[in-house]
Structure 1
Amino acid sequence: MMRTIAIGDIHGGLRALTQVLNKVEVKDEDKLIFVGDYVDGWSEAAQVVQLLIELSQKVNCVCIKGNHDVWTEEWLRSGEVNQTWYMHGGKETMESYSGFSEEDKKAHLAFFENMPLYHLDDENRLFLHAGFTSVKGVEHELDKRYFYLDRTLWEMALTMKPDIDKNDPIYPKRLTFYKEVFIGHTPTTNFGVEVPMNAMNIWNIDTGAAFKGRVTAMNVDTKAFVQSDNLPDLYPNETGRNKS
């Protein structure tokens, strides 16, 4: 049977991504949905992007755009260095491209440019990097940047009582549109949790790969998940974004 596997933030951790893909044992009929932030952190950002391009040619992959991907896309397009980006992993990403040709960079730019900001599957499950703010659903979001920047959706879900009735007038309309929502962007390690977190119908699968955590891959039907080793153990001579 086809599996749908959601994979959390990677942040240049090629070794971690390779680990989880091997643990998942990807099959031709599987669908892989990556929720963004492939770059900025560890030293193999360009190599992660290259692997995703090659993987997309073999199996059904959906690569959603994250905020760090937006920064890298802008740099690949213009060559201009955003100083905020540079201080939050951009330096490592730029260095990872040292062995890549201009043709390679153009192919990577096209890959970034074609990334969707969200994905809605046939079972009304929404996948996006961060969140959304519209009370009418993602199609009505006025500022598309919220798809890769918003944290309020997750923060709201965390504060809610799990047993609240969906028919209660105070039940947030944002949570009523989709069967489930899968996000990254806000590391679960911020809350002292090293595994995926669930609040209401939202699943957060960013388990802190940018810092001291892991990359996670989850079967969205069964909620079974696999994880890489902690990124600092895979890159012992690097600091990733632990310095920030």
Structure 2
Amino acid sequence: MPERVIAIGDIHGCADAFAAILKLIEPTQDDTLVVLGDCIDRGPGSRRVIELMLDADDRCNLVPLFGNHEEMLLAAVDRPGTAISWLSCGGTDTLVSYGVASAQELPREHLLYIRTWKDYYEIDTHFFAHGSYNARVPLDRQEWGYERWQSLRDRMPKAHRNGKTAVVGHTSQKDGEVLDADYLLCIDTYCCGGKWLTAVDVSNELLWQVDAQGQPRDGRETPVPVPNRENPSK
């Protein structure tokens, strides 16, 4: 099988969905899986999501990106006084999944792993980030601590100066559909809100979608072409 580069949208603790989409993808050592961040919080299975990521890292080239929820988690670990913000945004669900009472009690292995996650990733044709980007600034000079928080509903960036297609998450598409602005794909399709977890093979422009229980959309276990959506206001 030729090498594939596959992006996975915001998981938000939906471990059954993540496990199911990995099963559909069947990643191999030749594949790169880019997980776009916000893997934790809100859903019931944050611990299992991290465990699945560690397991998948042994089977393929897994590239996890740092989301704003991972940022809040590490802030709660390093500065306990900030924990209330994280807890109110789904952090409580993460603690419950681990069976602990505070961020400081989370497994050291998992915290060290999250600290290794990247701000962005790029290939010849695409680049990947959690939230947004500044179209005028080279990727290695972006203020990712700012951009990962930016909603596409507030500011839709233009095509990046590097000419590559952006693949992002963070801005949940409440209708469950991929936002396709030609030069940008947003694949946070609101799994934790009752819609879908989306994975996109950017090499072949194909996607998989499953719900929070891991059921494929419309019963489709094989990928389908990425639909064209040119309405960035959604």
TM-score band, normalised by the shorter chain?
0.7 to 0.9
Partner Cα distance (1:61, 1:152) in 2: 26
Pair member with larger Rg: 1
Aligned match of 1:115:
117
Q: 3-state DSSP class of the match of 1:188?
A: coil
Q: Which amino acid aligns with 2:113?
A: F
**1:15 counterpart = 2:8:** no
- Taking the TM superposition and a 5 Å limit, the aligned residue runs for 1:59-208 are 59-77=60-78, 82-98=83-99, 105-121=107-123, 123-133=124-134, 135-141=136-142, 143-152=143-152, 155-156=155-156, 172=158, 174-189=159-174, 192=175, 194-208=176-190
1:57-104 Cα shifts (integer Å, max 9, x gaps):
2210000010001112233445555212111101101111117xx997
Q: Residue by residue, what CA displacement relative to the aligned partner does 1:176-212 show, whole Å, maximum 9, x if unpaired?
A: 32321100000111xx3x2212113001110002322
Question: Residue 70 and residue 145 in structure 1: after superposition, are their counterparts in 2 closer, same or farther (change >3 A)?
Answer: same
1:149 aligned partner, one-letter code: W
| Contact 1:9–1:206 (8 Å) recurs in 2 | yes
**For each residue in 1:8-49, what CA deviation from the matched residue of structure 2 results, as whole angstroms up to 9, or x when unmatched?**
000001000011111112222111110110001111101111
Distance in 2 (CA, whole Å) between partners of 1:125 and 1:153 is 22
Paired letter, 2:190: G
List gaps (5 residues or longer) in structure 2: 216-234
State the one-letter code of the partner of 2:48: Q
From 193, 199, 213, the equivalent of 1:217 is 199
- CA change 1:78–1:84 in 2 (3 A) is closer
- Distance in 2, matches of 1:76 and 1:185, equals 22
Aligned Cα root-mean-square deviation (Å): 2.5
SS in structure 1 opposite 2:121?
strand
Q: Normalized against structure 1, the TM-score is what? A: 0.78
In structure 1, stretches of 5+ residues that fail to align are: 158-171, 234-244
Corresponding residue pairs, total: 212
The alignment's TM-score, normalised by the length of structure 2, stands at 0.81
